[in-house]
Structure formats: structure tokens, C-alpha cells
């Protein structure tokens, strides 16, 4: 099931890269564009909205501010628990690596 969802996401991204008209529709009406392309139903939780941002301009570096995680619902791995117990910052490193890979290389210390 997860593989199928990943394939759908890959299809949407690939189509947006290849087809400027699809990308425009995806920005304006993402659910309709995704459903028409893939034939799958997109159902968001009540009160949620799907926002698509075009980050294809290679002259810009994008940084997304993620929602703060609900720590009550987070399950940590043994390695993460050990890192936290030892004063480590593993969660922040993983988050920075996954969300800001390009921006991280722009910071010169």
C-alpha cells in the first residue's frame, strides 16, 4: 500500500516537472489535478487544506517551516532514545537533513 502511495506521489511530481499546464493546475486546484492524473481519490482530514508550492526555480533556495510535532504521539527508536538520554540532537539532525538539504549546504560557519 505504501509503495502504491509513493508511486502516486512520484507520478504527480514527474508530471509537474514535465508539463507546465499540469503544474499550473496543481498549484490552483491540487486535489482535482491529482485525482484526474492518477484516478485515485484524495481525502484530507476535516479542516485541512492541501497547499502545493512550486519550488522548481533553481535560482532560489527554499526553506519550509514544518508544523511543530505533537510530541505526545511521537514514537522514538532505541537509537533516538539513547541519543536524547545522552544529550544528543539526533531528532533535529534528522529533521534538518530531510527538510533543508540544500539550505544546509549554504550555511558557512
Q: pLDDT digit string (tens) for 7-54?
A: 999 999 999 999 999 999 999 999 999 999 999 999 988 998 999 999
Q: Are residues 72 and 47 in the same domain?
A: no
Domain span at 78? 61-109
Q: Are residues 50 and 10 in the same domain?
A: yes
Q: Are residues 49 and 68 in the same domain?
A: no
- How many domains does one find in the chain? 2
Tell me the CA distances in angstroms from 74 to 15, 39, 64, one per residue in order: 33, 32, 21
Q: Are residues 6 and 45 in the same domain?
A: yes
Size of the chain, expressed as the number of residues it contains: 109
Q: Are residues 74 and 50 in the same domain?
A: no
Q: Are residues 78 and 100 in the same domain?
A: yes
Q: Are 35 and 42 in contact (CB under 8 A)?
A: yes
**What is the percent of the chain where pLDDT is above 70?**
67
Q: Are residues 24 and 1 in the same domain?
A: yes
Q: Are residues 40 and 65 in the same domain?
A: no
Question: pLDDT-derived band of residue 82, with 50, 70 and 90 as boundaries?
Answer: confident
Q: Are residues 48 and 80 in the same domain?
A: no
Amino acid at each position: 500500500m505504501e509503495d502504491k502511495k509513493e508511486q502516486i506521489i512520484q507520478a504527480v511530481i514527474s508530471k509537474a516537472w514535465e508539463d507546465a499546464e499540469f503544474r499550473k493546475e496543481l498549484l490552483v486546484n491540487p486535489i482535482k489535478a491529482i485525482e484526474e492524473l492518477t484516478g485515485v481519490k484524495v481525502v484530507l482530514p476535516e479542516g485541512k487544506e492541501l497547499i502545493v508550492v512550486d519550488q522548481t526555480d533553481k535560482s532560489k533556495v527554499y526553506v519550509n517551516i514544518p508544523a511543530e510535532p505533537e510530541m505526545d504521539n511521537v514514537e522514538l527508536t532505541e537509537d533516538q532514545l539513547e541519543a536524547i538520554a545522552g544529550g544528543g540532537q539526533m531528532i533535529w539532525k534528522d529533521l534538518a537533513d530531510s527538510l533543508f538539504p540544500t539550505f544546509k549546504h549554504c550555511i558557512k560557519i
